[in-house]
Chain A
Amino acid sequence: MSLFEYSPAPESRTVVDIAESYDLFIGGQMVEPQDGTRFKTISPSTEEVLAEVAEAGERDVDAAVQAARVAYTRVWSRTSGRERGKYLFRIARLVQERARELAVLETLDNGKPIRETRDVDIPLVAAHFFYHAGWADKLGYAGLGANPRPLGVAAQIIPWNFPLLMLAWKVAPALAAGNTVVLKPAETTPLTALAFAEICQQADLPAGVVNIVTGAGETGRLLVEHPDVDKIAFTGSTEVGRLIAASVAGTAKKATLELGGKAANIVFDDAPIDQAVEGIVRGVFFNQGHVCCAGTRLLVQESVVDDVIDSLKNRLGTLRLGDPMDKNTDIGAINSAVQLRRIQQMSEVGEAEGATRWSPACTLPERGFWFAPTVFTDVAQTHRIAREEIFGPVLSVLTFRTPDEALAKANNTPYGLSAGVWTEKGSRILWMAQHLRAGVVWANTFNHFDPTSPFGGYKESGYGREGGRHGLAAYLVADETEVSA
């Protein structure tokens, strides 16, 4: 033990009660899958099998959509906004009451550090439900006319990087607006969604308003292609987003897609360097880089690049990688073997293309899926690691000389989800924010989220917004009745 080594401080697992096997949540009940197949979900930090989960087939998806349709027609579309708000407030409070359990469950199933699930994911989940609960009886003030109407049944497909938070982003606005939902969590992280099913029951949410079907890509396809679905909300890869866009083309279904990103984090020479370094770390190593809006392209003004990189390397030396359940862990496990391979391959490509690879000294645990924080310097715009989404703890460092060049390089990507600007000069922040083609521009911060702020992308990062007043529009038909005085 060195002078000030931190003793292990693991969060207790006893607060969660994981069943051996889980069914599907359809019509307010846990029901066995009609197709009978099941798959395992593991803890990526140890490869321990946590539970078996049902794989929903065609008949299951159909039953779930039917349950949502019935609940929509008979109950939810006739429930007043005020009543819907009460249910959402109740759910928000239940999430807070069960926060510790949900944080532990998320960390076990996803591999991200307990520090993040405890301090970021779960508090934001509650915040999203509280925020949208407030909207439920005020939709006439959302800028969509006096009486905007819900769409009907929403099919929602969410990724594995922020499992319960993505559920909240999707379910809360849908329910507030008066829609019913069928939600499919990612196959590697279904457990918090299943815990949420229990919360719906605890909240006495009418049967069928929320339905949860677990499964992989095929289940997702069945859900998207189901003829009785009115709306698709998807967060995931651009590749799958394209398939969904193609599938809904020519149908009456509406879709919002929140896809990939390759965000630029731009550091000017007059930036607050110590805070910029923190922002770089938060931008790309938060959640092991499994963040669609991650600041994976660091653009640094050439005059300060050495100082920034030296400071960054020093800082990365203090990151603590390991057991995600330890309260002092900063970097947890990569979510799956598949994702780990992708990150490894892209890093090899980076080296082969001539970029310089660096990682701080750190020991990776023997079991589970792990990848050390990695920084590539000497990266050019032409390199694949500067253009393609890696979705892991890998940073590509590029340089620029003038603000115009920074802007041009930042926008030179098929994506446009987010960007960061670091400078002490207010006018430059405003100028950059006006010209960056990105849905979110953070100034002197990065990866901060709030339910009141709309989130979404330009270009191939998708369309539609989630959160804020803009996010409500994705779940409502505007009331275009003219009211004359």
Chain B
Amino acid sequence: MVASTSLPSVADVTRSDADLQAFLHGLPGVDQVGADARAGELATRSIKNKSKARAIDLAISMIDLTTLEGQDTPGKVRALCAKAKRPDPVDPSTPAVAAVCVYGDMVGTAVPALAGSGINVAAVATAFPSGRASMAVKLADTADAVAAGADEIDMVIDRGAFLSGRFLQVFEEIVAVKQACGDAHLKVILETGELATYDNVRRASWLAMLAGADFIKTSTGKISPAATRPVTMIMLQAVRDYREATGLMVGVKPAGGIKSTKDAIRYLVLVNETAGIDWLCPEWFRFGASSLLNDLLMQRRKLHTGQYSGPDYVTID
């Protein structure tokens, strides 16, 4: 909790590493046992019937349908875009997903494939997933994706710098990437699996928000653990507190490892009871996922028809 009265100006806290460290370490700590217990308690909410149907549609509309493989090809990306537009070919009432998330070199393929659909193209940048490249390369990576037409950029922070206390460097990188984004929305990937402690997750969330992140995102999906519910809860608390302090809203995106409808609904409950209802829309909450979509589609059909169709009846793109 950072009360509005006690939040110093961004310029003040980012004057030096020491100032930034003092601010980030001055944030209230997170008790791991308590945080895990709270996330566990919220997982026992029972979402049935009408509320389940709404939750499923909401979850579909929040998906950043993702393919981030070395073996990605234009064909694969085009197929994914087709699926993004019309997730369930036999039921046109199924909502489209929020975005398609690809590597920078695939943006040029995804943009025409999604033209006019309202679905955004998101590109990972800044030497994703490790972030181990020079600043010039990271900025060029970003500018390249934006020039190719990406609506959203998913950048990674320099975890090495963060863990060694070079907070200002992390901050300045985010600021620079944000500038390179122009009008594109910036999602900042904290890679919480490498930050290890919940205190670090809270500090990195604030750091990213202070630097101008539009979204804070848990993971690249390349490191285990990827998104977890307690980590997402702590990030939701951070965006809630940040709005309390500044009036500005920042989105949250858990990514990686969210595979089932039950999981997705548990995340929505977390959003609902932590940050609040304002975050329950694709504009402020996303799922970075690929296989999740098919499970949501199967559950959606089950709810609508009373019958479970099975994996042969949903498309595998």
The answer to whether A binds B is yes
B29 near A272 with CB under 8 A, answer yes
A279 vs B44: C-alpha distance in the bound complex, in angstroms?
A: 18
A273 near B1 with CB under 8 A, answer yes
Give the chain B neighbours of A306 by CB distance below 8 A. Answer: 3
A278 and B34 contact, Cβ closer than 8 Å, known pairs A4-B55, A4-B268: yes
A444 vs B38: C-alpha distance in the bound complex, in angstroms?
A: 13
Give the chain A neighbours of B45 by CB distance below 8 A. Answer: 6, 327-328
- In the complex, B113 has a CB within 8 A of chain A: no
- In the complex, B18 has a CB within 8 A of chain A: no
- In the complex, A318 has a CB within 8 A of chain B: yes
A6 near B47 with CB under 8 A, answer yes
- In the complex, B225 has a CB within 8 A of chain A: no
Q: Residue among B29, B49, B277 with the most chain A CB within 10 A?
A: B29
A4 near B1 with CB under 8 A, answer no
Give the chain B neighbours of A445 by CB distance below 8 A. Answer: 33-34
A278 vs B37: C-alpha distance in the bound complex, in angstroms?
A: 10
- In the complex, A274 has a CB within 8 A of chain B: yes
Which chain A residues numbered 98 to 137 have a C-beta less than 8 Å away from chain B?
115, 119
Number of residues in B with C-beta < 8 Å to the partner?
A: 31
B277 near A3 with CB under 8 A, answer yes
A11 vs B33: C-alpha distance in the bound complex, in angstroms?
A: 29
Which chain B residues numbered 27 to 83 have a C-beta less than 8 Å away from chain A?
28-31, 33-35, 37-38, 44-52, 54-55, 58
B31 near A7 with CB under 8 A, answer no
Q: How far is the CB of B182 from chain A (nearest CB, A)?
A: 32
- In the complex, B246 has a CB within 8 A of chain A: no
- In the complex, B315 has a CB within 8 A of chain A: no
Give the chain B neighbours of A424 by CB distance below 8 A. Answer: 29, 31
A307 vs B34: C-alpha distance in the bound complex, in angstroms?
A: 19
A275 and B280 contact, Cβ closer than 8 Å, known pairs A4-B55, A6-B45, A444-B33: no
Which chain B residues numbered 188 to 208 have a C-beta less than 8 Å away from chain A?
none
- In the complex, A20 has a CB within 8 A of chain B: no
B277 near A9 with CB under 8 A, answer no
B30 near A7 with CB under 8 A, answer no
- In the complex, A270 has a CB within 8 A of chain B: yes
Q: How far is the CB of B46 from chain A (nearest CB, A)?
A: 4
- In the complex, A311 has a CB within 8 A of chain B: yes
A279 and B48 contact, Cβ closer than 8 Å, known pairs A2-B277, A3-B277: no
Give the chain B neighbours of A308 by CB distance below 8 A. Answer: 1
Give the chain B neighbours of A318 by CB distance below 8 A. Answer: 273
B277 near A444 with CB under 8 A, answer no
- In the complex, B272 has a CB within 8 A of chain A: yes
Residue of A nearest to B202 (CB): A274
- In the complex, A310 has a CB within 8 A of chain B: yes
Q: How far is the CB of B284 from chain A (nearest CB, A)?
A: 12
- In the complex, B237 has a CB within 8 A of chain A: yes
A311 near B30 with CB under 8 A, answer no
A308 vs B3: C-alpha distance in the bound complex, in angstroms?
A: 10
Q: How far is the CB of A212 from chain B (nearest CB, A)?
A: 32
Give the chain A neighbours of B33 by CB distance below 8 A. Answer: 444-445
Q: How far is the CB of A175 from chain B (nearest CB, A)?
A: 32
Give the chain B neighbours of A273 by CB distance below 8 A. Answer: 1, 28
Number of residues in A with C-beta < 8 Å to the partner?
A: 31
From B28, B48, B58, B280, A274 is in contact (CB under 8 Å) with: B28
A431 vs B51: C-alpha distance in the bound complex, in angstroms?
A: 48
A3 near B30 with CB under 8 A, answer no
Give the chain A neighbours of B48 by CB distance below 8 A. Answer: 7-9
Give the chain B neighbours of A327 by CB distance below 8 A. Answer: 44-46
Q: Residue among A1, A3, A304, A310 with the most chain B CB within 10 A?
A: A3
B30 near A4 with CB under 8 A, answer no
- In the complex, A146 has a CB within 8 A of chain B: no
Main secondary structure of the interface of A (DSSP, over half): loop
B31 near A272 with CB under 8 A, answer yes
A274 near B35 with CB under 8 A, answer yes
Q: How far is the CB of A157 from chain B (nearest CB, A)?
A: 33
Give the chain B neighbours of A119 by CB distance below 8 A. Answer: 44
Which chain A residues numbered 296 to 333 have a C-beta less than 8 Å away from chain B?
304, 306-308, 310-311, 318, 327-328
B30 near A275 with CB under 8 A, answer yes
B51 near A4 with CB under 8 A, answer yes
A424 vs B58: C-alpha distance in the bound complex, in angstroms?
A: 38
From B31, B44, B244, B272, A275 is in contact (CB under 8 Å) with: B31
Q: Residue among B31, B55, B58 with the most chain A CB within 10 A?
A: B31
Q: How far is the CB of B219 from chain A (nearest CB, A)?
A: 21
A5 vs B53: C-alpha distance in the bound complex, in angstroms?
A: 11
From A4, A7, A310, B49 is in contact (CB under 8 Å) with: A7
- In the complex, A340 has a CB within 8 A of chain B: no
Give the chain A neighbours of B29 by CB distance below 8 A. Answer: 270-272, 424
A311 vs B50: C-alpha distance in the bound complex, in angstroms?
A: 31
A7 vs B52: C-alpha distance in the bound complex, in angstroms?
A: 8
Which chain A residues numbered 254 to 273 have a C-beta less than 8 Å away from chain B?
270-273
A7 near B44 with CB under 8 A, answer no
A279 vs B49: C-alpha distance in the bound complex, in angstroms?
A: 32
A1 vs B50: C-alpha distance in the bound complex, in angstroms?
A: 9
From B38, B44, B54, A3 is in contact (CB under 8 Å) with: B54
Give the chain B neighbours of A275 by CB distance below 8 A. Answer: 30-31, 34-35, 38
B3 near A307 with CB under 8 A, answer yes
Residue of A nearest to B273 (CB): A318
A279 vs B38: C-alpha distance in the bound complex, in angstroms?
A: 10
A273 vs B268: C-alpha distance in the bound complex, in angstroms?
A: 23
A9 and B46 contact, Cβ closer than 8 Å, known pairs A3-B54, A4-B55, A4-B277: yes
Give the chain B neighbours of A7 by CB distance below 8 A. Answer: 47-52
Q: How far is the CB of A302 from chain B (nearest CB, A)?
A: 13
A270 vs B1: C-alpha distance in the bound complex, in angstroms?
A: 11
Contact code string B121-149 (vs A, CB < 8 Å = 1, else 0): 00000000000000000000000000000
A256 vs B137: C-alpha distance in the bound complex, in angstroms?
A: 74
Q: How far is the CB of B41 from chain A (nearest CB, A)?
A: 8
Q: How far is the CB of B240 from chain A (nearest CB, A)?
A: 8
A272 near B28 with CB under 8 A, answer yes
A278 and B38 contact, Cβ closer than 8 Å, known pairs A272-B29, A328-B45: yes
Give the chain B neighbours of A2 by CB distance below 8 A. Answer: 277
8 nearest interchain CB pairs? A275-B34, A9-B46, A327-B46, A272-B31, A275-B31, A273-B28, A307-B1, A7-B51
Q: Can you spell out 24 A-B residue pairs with CB atoms less than 8 angstroms apart? A: A1-B51, A1-B54, A3-B58, A4-B58, A6-B46, A6-B47, A7-B48, A8-B48, A9-B46, A115-B44, A270-B29, A275-B30, A275-B34, A278-B34, A278-B37, A307-B1, A307-B2, A307-B3, A311-B1, A328-B46, A424-B29, A444-B34, A445-B33, A445-B34
| Known interface pairs A271-B29, A424-B31; 12 further A-B residue pairs with C-beta atoms within 8 A, sorted by A's residue number | A2-B277, A3-B277, A4-B51, A6-B51, A7-B52, A272-B30, A272-B31, A278-B34, A278-B37, A278-B38, A304-B1, A318-B273
- Chain B residues in contact with chain A, CB under 8 A? 1-3, 28-31, 33-35, 37-38, 44-52, 54-55, 58, 237, 244, 268, 272-273, 277, 280
